[in-house]
């Protein structure tokens, strides 16, 4: 069997050390992106890889790194030989764990360099590290501040989830990093989407790359084994729907996406007290790094669990064997939908994705999804399986001040998240039944949402002049309120 058409990992010309580690980790059959990109990377050529989420991009760059450094007999005396840049700490951590698993038979050292950890501790060990897995900001910080940080021997640079790196505002950081590393190197760039900014980065970082796109002619933007459906639900019925869904799937592994940290916090704390009969976990951006890592590992370990999450968990993170992805809140666009849904049906496994839409969101969002070759099946709630938890949540809010506080925050943060969405054909905060929604969370009286009052006043008094003028007094104060998030702000 030729290297150009490998059927198993044993068909690749890999060292026995890598082959043994792959076998022990139960990696036997390479995915399409691995089949096409690994031989090219092993030849020393730059790679621009485009593939759907869950296609196996991580091994597609870890294997070439280990092999090319092993061929050069790389050691701690040679310094930094490869750098992998990931958009988030979570993805960097996950990549590092795969690197440890596949590279455990090699003598090279590897280090995880991310924010939220001790800078001094990283500085002491980074100089003798051969392979660095890092986030962009932390890597540039070491380049600027760590004495004797030397990339002059760098052989390989990997940009993982390059589109996400740029979406998060790291374009200037990436340009600065590229200025600090040698031009004579091999670069592997992987991205789920090929946007203009990704192409610009590719022009700066790649030298005559081989373009690998294993799904370019696909009729769908998501994995073929992903079963996708959507359901229309009134805002005030979402809590009943979600609790009922969990109760009817207690033997499943479920990932549930919501728009904001405060929503995740409230639903997690409230449902935990209602005891649905399945372990509950919550993952969101305001948690400390070590806690997020512990939650990630706990969800990976369990075969039956529910993880409530914000979009921090949507890109790149590999949760094994997820049965269901439920998008309780409408994603901001079709790409976000794809990346959320891509947490299941990974690596040729089956999975199901359920999108919950408000009546006001249905037409606009389905139109956006069709542009990405996505056609979801409409399903309805089975009335016999729908439970009502309104009275229980109300009792919780009366008895527990903390739950009431989080219910209020949940209500306000959801309204804010809808208000800030750019696509007004899909998202209209004025169509939200906020009083009914507040009551569905257990609140007897809805919280005051001042930014909506302010915006309505602006809209009805001087909408055209004021909203088109960013120097407008009211416009500035609404934006200031949205940034501070203080519910008691007024003017």
**Using CA atoms, how far apart are residues 481 and 475, in angstroms rounded to an integer?**
10
Per DSSP, 133 falls in state E
- Pick from 436, 397, 389: which is nearest to 415 by CA? 436
**Using CA atoms, how far apart are residues 416 and 412, in angstroms rounded to an integer?**
6
pLDDT, tens digit (0-9, with 9 covering 90-100), for 115-128: 877 898 899 889 88
Q: Alpha carbon 199 to chain centroid distance?
A: 21
Please indicate whether the domains covering 9-213 and 226-403 agree at the CATH topology level: yes
Superfamily of 9-213 according to CATH: P-loop containing nucleotide triphosphate hydrolases (3.40.50.300)
Indicate whether 219 pLDDT > 80.
no
- Pick from 39, 137, 19, 25: which is nearest to 87 by CA? 137
The set of residues, in sequence order, having a beta carbon less than 8 Å from that of 355 and lying 6+ positions away, is 228, 229, 230, 231, 327, 330, 331, 337, 365, 376
pLDDT, residue 193, reads 78
pLDDT, residue 14, reads 97
Q: If you average pLDDT over residues 6-20, what whole number do you get?
A: 96
Q: If you average pLDDT over residues 17-41, what whole number do you get?
A: 96
**Using CA atoms, how far apart are residues 365 and 423, in angstroms rounded to an integer?**
10
Of 89-98, 237-246, 268-277, the poorest mean pLDDT is in 89-98
Indicate whether 182 pLDDT > 70.
yes
For the CA atoms of the chain, what is the radius of gyration?
24
Residue bearing the bigger pLDDT, 286 or 126: 126
Reading the block at residue 92, the tokens are 């960097």
**Using CA atoms, how far apart are residues 278 and 271, in angstroms rounded to an integer?**
10
Indicate whether 5 pLDDT > 70.
yes
**What is the share, in percent, of the chain residues with pLDDT greater than 90?**
71
pLDDT, residue 288, reads 84
pLDDT, tens digit (0-9, with 9 covering 90-100), for 344-382: 987 778 999 999 999 999 999 999 999 988 999 999 999
The set of residues, in sequence order, having a beta carbon less than 8 Å from that of 169 and lying 6+ positions away, is none
pLDDT, tens digit (0-9, with 9 covering 90-100), for 424-451: 999 999 999 999 999 999 999 999 887 6
Residue bearing the bigger pLDDT, 484 or 107: 107
pLDDT, residue 317, reads 74
Whether 351 and 377 have beta carbons less than 8 Å apart is answered as: no
Specify the DSSP element, H or E, that contains 297: helix 289-301
- Pick from 413, 300, 354, 338: which is nearest to 163 by CA? 338
Number of H helices, E strands in the chain: 19, 14
Indicate whether 469 pLDDT > 60.
no
Q: If you average pLDDT over residues 180-185, what whole number do you get?
A: 96
Domain 226-403, second-level architecture:
3-Layer(aba) Sandwich (3.40)
Residue bearing the bigger pLDDT, 253 or 483: 253
Bin 307: left if φ > 0, else alpha if -120 < ψ < 50, else beta.
beta
pLDDT, residue 187, reads 98
Of 259-273, 300-314, 432-446, 463-477, the poorest mean pLDDT is in 463-477
Residue ranges of the domains in the chain? Answer: 9-213, 226-403, 450-484
**Using CA atoms, how far apart are residues 168 and 179, in angstroms rounded to an integer?**
20
Q: If you average pLDDT over residues 318-345, what whole number do you get?
A: 92
Of 132-136, 153-157, 294-298, 439-443, the poorest mean pLDDT is in 294-298
């Amino acid at each position: 069997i030729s290297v150009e058409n490998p059927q198993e990992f044993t068909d690749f010309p890999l060292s026995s050390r890598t082959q043994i580690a792959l076998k022990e980790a139960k990696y036997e059959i390479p995915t399409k992106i691995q089949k096409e990109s690994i031989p090219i990377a092993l030849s020393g050529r730059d790679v621009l890889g485009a593939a759907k989420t869950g296609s196996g991009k991580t091994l597609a760059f870890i294997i070439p790194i280990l092999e090319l450094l092993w061929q050069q007999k790389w050691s701690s005396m040679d310094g930094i030989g490869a750098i992998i840049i990931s958009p988030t700490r979570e993805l960097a951590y996950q990549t590092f764990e795969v690197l440890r698993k596949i590279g455990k038979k090699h003598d090279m050292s590897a280090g995880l360099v991310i924010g939220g950890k001790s800078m001094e501790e990283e500085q002491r060990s980074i100089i003798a590290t051969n392979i660095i897995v890092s986030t962009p900001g932390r890597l540039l910080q070491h380049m600027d501040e760590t004495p004797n940080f030397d990339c002059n021997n760098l052989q390989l640079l990997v940009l993982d989830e390059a589109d996400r790196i740029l979406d998060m505002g790291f374009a200037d950081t990436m340009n600065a990093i590229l200025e600090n590393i040698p031009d004579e190197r091999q670069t592997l760039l992987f991205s789920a989407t090929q946007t203009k900014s990704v192409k610009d980065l590719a022009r700066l970082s790649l030298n005559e790359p081989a373009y690998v796109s294993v799904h370019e002619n696909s009729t769908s933007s998501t994995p073929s084994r992903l079963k996708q459906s959507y359901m229309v639900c009134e805002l005030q019925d979402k809590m009943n729907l979600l609790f009922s869904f969990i109760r009817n799937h207690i033997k499943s592994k479920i990932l549930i996406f919501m728009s904001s940290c405060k929503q995740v916090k409230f639903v997690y704390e409230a449902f935990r007290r209602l005891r649905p009969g399945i372990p509950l976990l919550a993952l969101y951006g305001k948690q400390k790094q070590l806690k997020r890592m512990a939650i990630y590992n706990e969800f990976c370990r369990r075969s039956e669990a529910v993880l409530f999450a914000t979009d921090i968990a949507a890109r790149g993170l590999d949760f094994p064997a997820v049965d269901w992805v439920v998008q309780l809140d409408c994603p901001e666009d079709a790409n976000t939908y794809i990346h959320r849904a891509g947490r299941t049906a990974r690596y040729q496994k089956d999975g199901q994705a359920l999108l919950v839409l408000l009546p006001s969101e249905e037409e606009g969002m389905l139109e956006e999804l069709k542009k990405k070759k996505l056609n979801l099946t409409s399903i309805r709630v089975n009335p016999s399986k729908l439970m009502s938890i309104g009275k229980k949540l109300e009792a919780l809010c009366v008895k527990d001040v903390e739950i009431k506080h989080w219910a209020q925050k949940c209500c306000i943060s959801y309204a804010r998240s809808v208000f800030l969405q750019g696509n007004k054909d899909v998202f209209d905060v004025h169509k939200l039944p906020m009083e009914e929604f507040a009551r569905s969370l257990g609140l007897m009286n809805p919280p005051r949402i001042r930014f909506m009052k302010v915006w309505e006043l602006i809209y009805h008094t001087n909408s055209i002049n004021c909203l088109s003028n960013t120097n407008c007094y009211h416009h500035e104060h609404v934006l200031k309120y949205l940034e501070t998030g203080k519910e008691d702000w007024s003017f």
